[in-house]
């Protein structure tokens, strides 16, 4: 099974529900490559209304931006993976650099979140990536390997069919900086090699690995042309339908 090309939008804490519906419908109705899997990572408040508004035939999928590592309990303000599954939300984003930094989510906690999400029947977009300091120190490969090994290596090969990897060079998020296509390919190739050594060739070749560092319409084509870059986890550019549609059509 060939791995999928994916354009995933991470709306973060942006848009009202009405704005989100309008944006999603513009993407749904726009001219786009129907072979590309489109995933919209939207605020929790938007999941149910968008689920009702987006046509099933559009093949636009939804993702939550986080979930808790427990299925229920006294965790005020958190979202259970079982609730997402009951809403028939197929994906959840875990390990985003902002969650790691601002909410102090470490590899051990993310391992538990991955387990909870998979057990609930969700697919996971698992984020990894390094800071500028780590890259400048030449430790970016070992840092990303540790993120993957600590949070994913306990899984079986069969579990991995429900995992998408998103590589985020943190130094290129919201800064206007972008890893060169060569830097992106270098890390994506390394991630695929890490997966190959742990889970085997079949898993490595079938796992989609997305680039998540300031993807724009102007750089998407050259990034997505790299052999191990299977798409993007797109931030700000996913909030503009015309820009995101250009990214979708960049494969």
Rounded to whole angstroms, the Cα distance separating 34 from 59 reads 8
Annotation marks residue 96 as catalytic: yes
| Annotated catalytic residue, options 46, 68, 69, 96 | 96
Q: Which residues of 111-150 are buried (b: 16+ CB within 10 A; e: fewer)?
A: bebbbbbbebebbbbbbbbbbeebbeeeebbebbbebbee
Q: 27 CB contacts (<8 Å, ≥6 apart)?
A: 38, 40, 60, 241, 244, 245, 248
Rounded to whole angstroms, the Cα distance separating 236 from 9 reads 8
Rounded to whole angstroms, the Cα distance separating 61 from 238 reads 14
CA-to-CA separations, 195 to 144, 164, 202, 209, in angstroms, rounded: 12, 12, 10, 11
| Annotated catalytic residue, options 98, 105, 130, 168 | 168
Q: How far apart are the first and last CA of the chain?
A: 18
Q: Please write down the long-range contacts of 133-137, taking CB distance under 8 Å and 24 or more positions apart.
A: 135/169, 135/171
Annotation marks residue 168 as catalytic: yes
List the catalytic residues. 96, 168
């Amino acid at each position: 099974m060939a791995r999928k090309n994916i354009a995933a939008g991470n709306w973060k804490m942006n848009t009202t529900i009405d704005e989100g519906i309008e944006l999603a419908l513009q993407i749904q109705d726009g001219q786009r490559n129907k072979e590309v899997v489109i995933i919209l990572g939207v605020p929790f408040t938007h999941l149910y209304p968008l689920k009702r508004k987006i046509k099933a035939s559009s093949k636009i999928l939804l993702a939550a931006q986080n979930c808790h590592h427990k299925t229920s309990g006294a965790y005020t303000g958190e979202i259970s993976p079982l609730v997402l599954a009951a809403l028939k939300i197929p994906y959840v984003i875990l390990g985003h650099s902002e969650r790691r930094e601002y909410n102090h989510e470490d590899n051990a906690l993310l391992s538990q979140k991955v387990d909870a999400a998979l057990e609930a029947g969700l697919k996971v977009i698992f984020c990894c990536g390094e800071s500028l300091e780590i890259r400048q120190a030449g430790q970016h490969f070992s840092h990303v390997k540790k993120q993957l090994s600590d949070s994913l290596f306990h899984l079986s090969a069969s579990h991995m069919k429900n995992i998408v990897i998103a590589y985020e060079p943190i130094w290129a998020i919201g800064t206007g900086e972008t890893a060169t296509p060569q830097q992106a390919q270098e890390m994506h190739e390394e991630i695929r090699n890490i997966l190959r050594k742990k889970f085997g060739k079949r898993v490595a070749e079938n796992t989609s690995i997305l680039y998540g560092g300031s993807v724009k319409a102007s750089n998407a084509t050259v990034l997505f042309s790299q052999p191990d870059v299977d798409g993007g986890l797109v931030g700000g550019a996913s909030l503009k339908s015309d820009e995101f549609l250009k990214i979708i059509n960049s494969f």
